[in-house]
Structure 1
Amino acid sequence: MSRQSKIVKTSIIEIGVNLILVAFKASIGILTNSIAITLDAINNLTDALSSIITIIGTKLAGKAPDKNHPYGYGRIEYFSSIIVSAIVLWAGITALMESWPKIFTPDITNYTTISLIIIAVAVVVKFALGTYVKRVGEKINSQALVASGSDSYFDAILSLSTLVAAIISIFFHISLEGILGVIISIAIIKSSIDMIKETLNHMIGARIDSDLSNKIKSSICEVPGVYGAYDLSLHNYGPEDMIGSVHIEVDDTLTALDIHTLTRTIQGKIYSEFSIALTIGIYAKNDKYEDMRKELSEIVSSYEEILEIHGFLVLEEQNLVMFDIIVDFDADRQKVKEEILEKIKAKYPKFNYCIVDDYDISD
């Protein structure tokens, strides 16, 4: 089953379960005059709406690339995740507005044994549904499903608190619905804001996952003839669509045919292992100036703010030394570069130097 089909199937299951719960909870809420149960029913209705939005977003995101959108429509999934999170936020704010007055003017409720049993069943059903949906979402990297699954957990907690409030009301004649409603509403609002932040991070362009970055670089370096992989940059065009670029270090004696064959091998390897299309640039390695390279590495090693140097190359005819330097974002980049230049130039004054200031975009 394709990723899109799994999302649609899971969302349809969510819709069916939530609509059944809406019918039961709304009936109980009206019959028992319970604001908590009525709000719970409304919350389940918003869950069903969220699942519908997830299906629509998934269908749109699955459209094939075209002339105007050559990278496809995968990022639409992020918008559907934002909408789902916004619905959860709205539900939390609405619940808070409804629950707060009930602290001071609680309603008189009339719970029955049947209503308590149905609420208890709803707790189990929503917890099981949340576990299932979130697990599927994490497995196929769907932020919308993860958000829906997390919301189902909160629904289960909301129903459980309603059950506890009902039992306390029956035995002690104390109404805690307003207080519990406020507490749970705040928890739902916080969760929705966290979900929005996470999705926005993906949309803006979050840092590459360290584990993924290291795995890709290690995989590249497994190919014979590759001495290092640097400047890995990945761009996300949806949860499952990534393209990127990387530089590899190879011997300066390789021919164009050798490099062509090598880069094709790496591209095929990375795509088969990670489903990522890479564009590959080349750093030439000339062993004649290995001593100079080692001295540069020793100079750099005394600077904690320098994370890496790479792309070292000496062009004899131009008396030019080139290398890239990655400085920590929080450091004084210009000052560090000037100090490194001064120290290496003191050892090799006959050369001119070109230092490329790289950014720390991947580990």
Structure 2
Amino acid sequence: MNNRENKGIKLSIFGTIINIILFITKLFVGIITNSSAIIAEAFNNLLDSLSFILSIIGFRFAKKKNNHYYPFGYGRAEYLAGFIVSLITISVGIELIKYTTINFNSNNIIFNNSALIVLIFSIISKFIIGIQSKITSKKINSITLRALY
């Protein structure tokens, strides 16, 4: 595996793990606090992890050598993965808008410190992932990683 794909896959694995951890903790806190916004954000993290998994698949295909079926190689797989990530991001945004408008003012939110701690951890984690994705996408010239930040 060359260095470009290696860096892209490592960042994608890191992003997948962080987003799954955020999904589990936000879902738990969202249920405890009865907050539909935190639950919706948890599922946003789950779909973000799916986006990182798609980027791993794109990098894996892009590193394949050309053959008689694909004489120019599989490099376009990374662009296709970036396009799918963009579609997922748009659909998640639309679904979150629909979910929050339907459930607006429909429940009483119970505030506790665990919700605040999880949300602060989430902001810091997403900021780190975003900066790292931006730096790595520029370094390796990856449209897929650019679609993730």
Q: Please, what TM-score do these two structures have when normalized by structure 1?
A: 0.40
Moved over 6 A (4+): none
Please identify which structure carries the higher strand content. 1
Q: Check conservation: 2:11, 2:133, Cα contact below 8 A.
A: yes
Who is 1:135 aligned against? Answer: 135
User: What is the root-mean-square deviation in Å for CA atoms of aligned residues?
Assistant: 1.2
Distance (Å, rounded) in 1 between the aligned partners of 2:128 and 2:59: 23
For the pair shown, the structure with the greater C-alpha radius of gyration is: 1
| Distance across 2 between alignment mates of 1:89 and 1:64 | 32
Q: Distance in 1 between matches of 2:69 and 2:23?
A: 42
CA distance in 2, matches of 1:27, 1:68: 48
**Which residue number corresponds to residue 20 of structure 2?**
19
Q: Which amino acid aligns with 1:71?
A: F
Counterpart residue number, 2:61: 60
| Aligned equivalent of 1:109 | 109
Deviations 1:108-145 (A, max 9, x none): 10010121122112111111111111210121111111
Counterpart of 1:291 in structure 2 is none
Query: 2:126, 2:53 → 1: CA distance?
Result: 18
Give the secondary-structure state (helix, strand or coil) at the position aligned to 1:69. coil
Query: What residue identity is the alignment partner of 1:17?
Result: I
- Between the two proteins, what is the percent identity of the paired residues? 36
Distance in 1 of aligned mates of 2:26 and 2:82:
26
Q: Distance in 2 between matches of 1:113 and 1:76?
A: 44
* Native 8 Å contact 1:135 1:146 kept in 2: no
Using the alignment, how far apart are the partners of 2:114 and 2:34 within structure 1?
15
> Paired residue for 1:49?
50
Describe the superposition over 1:245-266 as per-residue Cα deviations: whole angstroms up to 9, x where unpaired. xxxxxxxxxxxxxxxxxxxxxx
* Partner AA of 1:63 in structure 2: K
Q: Which has the higher contact order (CA 8 A, sep 6+)?
A: 2
Q: Following TM superposition, by how much is the alpha carbon of 1:68 offset from its aligned partner in structure 2, in angstroms? A: 2.5
What residue identity is the alignment partner of 2:11? T
Unaligned runs of 5+ residues in structure 1 are 150-363
Q: How far does the alpha carbon of each residue in 1:222-261 deviate from its partner, in whole angstroms, 9 at most, with x for none?
A: xxxxxxxxxxxxxxxxxxxxxxxxxxxxxxxxxxxxxxxx
Superimposed CA distance per residue, residues 140-191 of structure 1 (whole angstroms, 9 cap, x where no aligned partner): 1111111112xxxxxxxxxxxxxxxxxxxxxxxxxxxxxxxxxxxxxxxxxx
What is residue 8 of structure 1 aligned with on the other side?
9
Q: For 2:44, give the aligned amino acid.
A: N
SS at structure 1 position matched to 2:103? helix
Task: Give me the TM-score of the superposition, normalised by structure 2.
Answer: 0.94
How many residues end up aligned between the 2 structures?
Answer: 148
- 1:92 maps to 93
Rounded Cα–Cα distance in structure 1 between residues aligned with 2:98 and 2:121: 27
Larger helix fraction of residues: 2
Amino acid at match of 2:22: L
